[in-house]
Structure 1
Amino acid sequence: MPRIIAARRSAIVPRGGKFAELEPHELARPVIRACLADARLAPAAVGELILSNALGAGGNPARSAALAAGLPEQVAGLSIDRQCAGGLDAIVLGHALVSAGLHEVVIAGGAESYSRRPLRSRTFADGRPPVPYDQARFTPWAECDPDMAEAAATLAADLGIAQAEQDGWAMRSHALARQAAEARRVEIVPIAGCVADAFTRDLTARHCARAQPVAGCITAANMAVAADAAAFVVIVSDRLAQDLGAAGLRLLDGATRGARPEQPGLAPVPAIAELLARQGLKPRDLGRAEIMEAFAVQALGCIKKAGLEPDIVNPTGGALAQGHPVGASGAVLAVTLFHALRAGDPPALAAIAAAGGIGTAALFEVVAG
């Protein structure tokens, strides 16, 4: 079975920060190179690069990243867009390619520059002037395609999760991230002088009370800030891993499932349930879970509906304390698990929701060299 033998990411920096001038391939390049160095592999060994990107200008950003990183010209690069879930989906897809014997080495992950995203406008056949828009459409029906913050506020009302509980989870995320900041530097490739996540701070109840409202009980304090980052892993065949004597992370199972498009926050729950059932596991069998915190209520809702123990979820903080680099966010979860898990640990879960009612979940465990 393939294994992940290297995993790195950039710091996560809010849009308009120190990464503001960097295009996605410029964020990806040093992370890819660091992954290869960690794996003790030459660029020529790479068969494919899969890159998730949700906000870019189109084309094939994976190809640009592959060329920028010095990969062989025959690495065509495969770009995917499953919005927030794409980074984790890239890893599941890369694992499948290696499992199928199509490649012995695949680099997979995501790179996103919220700062450099292009301005977009919708055009009309009747000659009306173009209308700028920020959020793409995720369903054919306006009533099933809500603003993400408004959908989170509806979820909070449906599940009875008060703002105080959401703020409490956000404060927990920041506190845990601050405690783990030094230990997590091993994950991070320095870029533009950034060696730590830039947004993490001492978030207090007073800060939460003053936070700008966004939609209902959703405020700037209990939702993740838009950010720039890149995160990648190196997936190799079992044969090559053994030749290298490399320990690593094994993907036990992964799934992406669609759910109600009007309530994307709970979309990972069916995928989590399916994975656990296929592996014969219960939520109590998990040792750790990295759950995307695009909104505090989304994480809390998934914990509740999936039956997860809150103490094992995001024990070193999550996106509320880091930021949300959309297409890279799912890969960040996997990078965190790669560096956190040890041989003999119980299986660990990564799960993320995406606009349009999409949820991806993956189960990992450590395998010895």
Structure 2
Amino acid sequence: MQAAVTGFYSNSGGCGAIFEDIYVVAGKRTPFGKMTGSLSTVSPTDLGIMSSRAALEAAQVNPRDIDQLIAANIGQASADSFFLPRHIALYSGLRLEAPAVMAQRICGSGIEIIGQAAEQIGLKKAASVLAVGTETMSRFPLASYSARQGFALGRPEFVDLLWEALGDTAAVPMGQTADILAKKYGVTREEVDRFAETSQNKYFAAESAGFYKGEIIPVAKSGAFEVANLKPRKYKLKDISKDSQGVEKDEHPRMTSLEKLKSLSPVFTTEGPTTAGNASGIVDGACSVVVASGDYVRSHGLKVLGKIRGFVSVGVEPQIMGIGPAPAIRSLLGSLDMQLNDIDLFEINEAFGAQCYSVAKDLELDLNKLNIHGGAIAIGHPLAATGTRLVTTLLRSLHLKKKSIGVASACIGGGQGIAMVVEAV
């Protein structure tokens, strides 16, 4: 069998692709660090190098075999961010001739780049591709768009790009879209708080069982990436104690209770239900995935995590952007001639508890199949790195539970949704 891709599109079903004989070989990520936490001093490029080197090692793939690198990053949170994909490629050991490119679909970027990697392979433009989602949200810059024209009297005007990223100048702030969905689908504050509590509890149960050790790589408290004929890249973690070796676990998850969650005030609208406790966390981290053709996998005797069956992106009303996963999932399953009950597990990004719960209600999902090891309310949502994390976690969960078919999906600011179907192998 040869790797192949078949595209599809429609006015109502978005744009997508169906794949044959294309695989996720391995995925690895850094811990996700809390806002201004241990990883906040590390550039997204360096985080991407860490996860990429680890993913290539886990895949047992020679970096020089990789034909292309596709990176995703939203925040442009370093002075050399224009070079991010190329620098990750060079410092991860890819050959000089291998090109690198950046893609951006906001919260769906991680799934997007895996889909683009599969498309490159299906079109026979590559046999193996490295997909890298990376974000240092703590380093999102404060910008002055008028500084080059000089300042008149008064204070210069600066914009917080992190805060602005949570808004939508065409519609309403992201959190408000979740509250709109809650009202539309009749989702109560108690339901959202219980959903958030469950996300945290599932995460800690999985972490205690050692599940996340299979995808998280430890980050040393300082280090350098050295490659012949290139300047070394150095990093140092923030506020690491003298006795600590670095960071090995996610920093955002926190034990909570329904009582604590109930005590929090709504953030975006007076009636809520969105609070700081039932929304995803702002975090720093990277996750890289190795994608390859079946011919490459077989010729190199590689073990794989799973097969990529297809992916799609769709548009929705900006005011209810959070519902995006529902039409995306329906569109993709229809194109694959599958039904919702054919899906064993779902990984749907918990951008907001009210948003994810509304998607579950719309699709009438069995919550026992959803985010079984916890979601972004616990882990955090590092924008461009979320999708690669979702796919990695999903495939590992399918293997652990001895299940077959899974869906990874995310809503996207501005009014989009993205979904991918994978099969454990």
Equivalent of 1:204 in 214, 238, 257: 257
Report the secondary structure of 1:5's partner residue.
Answer: strand
Equivalent of 1:165 in 168, 191, 205: 191
Q: Where in structure 2 are there 5+ consecutive unaligned residues?
A: 1-20, 221-245
Q: Would you say the 8 A contact 1:268–1:360 is kept in 2?
A: yes
Q: Would you say the 8 A contact 2:280–2:351 is kept in 1?
A: yes
What displacement does 1:39 show? 1.5
Report the secondary structure of 2:172's partner residue.
Answer: coil
What displacement does 1:87 show? 0.6
Q: Is residue 218 of structure 2 the alignment partner of residue 190 of structure 1? A: yes
Q: Would you say the 8 A contact 1:13–1:198 is kept in 2?
A: yes
* Counterpart Cα distance in 1 of 2:395 and 2:30: 15
* Counterpart Cα distance in 2 of 1:122 and 1:263: 30
Q: Would you say the 8 A contact 2:185–2:361 is kept in 1?
A: no
What displacement does 1:244 show? 2.4
Choose 1 or 2 for highest CA Rg.
2
Equivalent of 2:39 in 10, 15, 19: 19
Report the secondary structure of 2:350's partner residue.
Answer: coil
Larger CA deviation: 126-135 vs 257-266: 126-135
Pairs within 5 Å for 1:164-313: 164-181=190-207, 182-192=210-220, 193-216=246-269, 217=272, 218-248=274-304, 249-313=306-370
Pairs within 5 Å for 1:63-102: 63-102=86-125
Amino acid at match of 2:412: A
Where does residue 132 of structure 1 map in the other structure?
159
What displacement does 1:137 show? 9.2
Q: Would you say the 8 A contact 2:59–2:303 is kept in 1?
A: no
Amino acid at match of 1:246: L
Q: Would you say the 8 A contact 2:70–2:131 is kept in 1?
A: yes
Describe the shift of the 1:14–1:69 C-alpha distance in structure 2 as closer, same or farther (beyond 3 A). Answer: same
User: What CA deviation, in whole Å up to 9, does each residue of 1:126-165 have, x standing for no partner?
Assistant: 98854524325987xx4x4211111111211221111111
Q: Name the Cα RMSD after superposition.
A: 2.0
* Counterpart Cα distance in 1 of 2:295 and 2:249: 35
Equivalent of 1:146 in 169, 172, 178: 172
Describe the shift of the 1:202–1:280 C-alpha distance in structure 2 as closer, same or farther (beyond 3 A). Answer: same
Q: Would you say the 8 A contact 1:174–1:321 is kept in 2?
A: yes
User: What CA deviation, in whole Å up to 9, does each residue of 1:264-301 have, x standing for no partner?
Assistant: 10012111001111112211111000000010011111
Amino acid at match of 2:31: A
Report the secondary structure of 2:105's partner residue.
Answer: coil
Amino acid at match of 2:411: A
What displacement does 1:242 show? 0.7
Give the TM-score normalised by the residue count of structure 1.
0.93
* Counterpart Cα distance in 1 of 2:151 and 2:41: 35
Describe the shift of the 1:101–1:221 C-alpha distance in structure 2 as closer, same or farther (beyond 3 A). Answer: same
For these two proteins, the number of residue pairs brought into alignment is: 364
User: What CA deviation, in whole Å up to 9, does each residue of 1:293-336 have, x standing for no partner?
Assistant: 01001111111112322110001000000111011111110110
Give the TM-score normalised by the residue count of structure 2.
0.81
User: What CA deviation, in whole Å up to 9, does each residue of 1:235-279 have, x standing for no partner?
Assistant: 111111112222321111100111112211001211100111111
* Counterpart Cα distance in 1 of 2:120 and 2:111: 15
* Counterpart Cα distance in 1 of 2:49 and 2:349: 25
Report the secondary structure of 1:33's partner residue.
Answer: helix
Equivalent of 1:360 in 391, 398, 418: 418
* Counterpart Cα distance in 2 of 1:256 and 1:120: 31
Q: Would you say the 8 A contact 2:71–2:132 is kept in 1?
A: yes
Report the secondary structure of 1:203's partner residue.
Answer: coil
Aligned sequence identity (%) = 28
Q: Is residue 354 of structure 2 the alignment partner of residue 326 of structure 1? A: no
Amino acid at match of 1:329: T
Report the secondary structure of 1:290's partner residue.
Answer: strand
Describe the shift of the 1:21–1:95 C-alpha distance in structure 2 as closer, same or farther (beyond 3 A). Answer: same
* Counterpart Cα distance in 2 of 1:24 and 1:126: 30
Report the secondary structure of 1:277's partner residue.
Answer: helix
Pairs within 5 Å for 1:107-126: 107-123=130-146
Q: Where in structure 1 are there 5+ consecutive unaligned residues?
A: none
What displacement does 1:196 show? 1.8
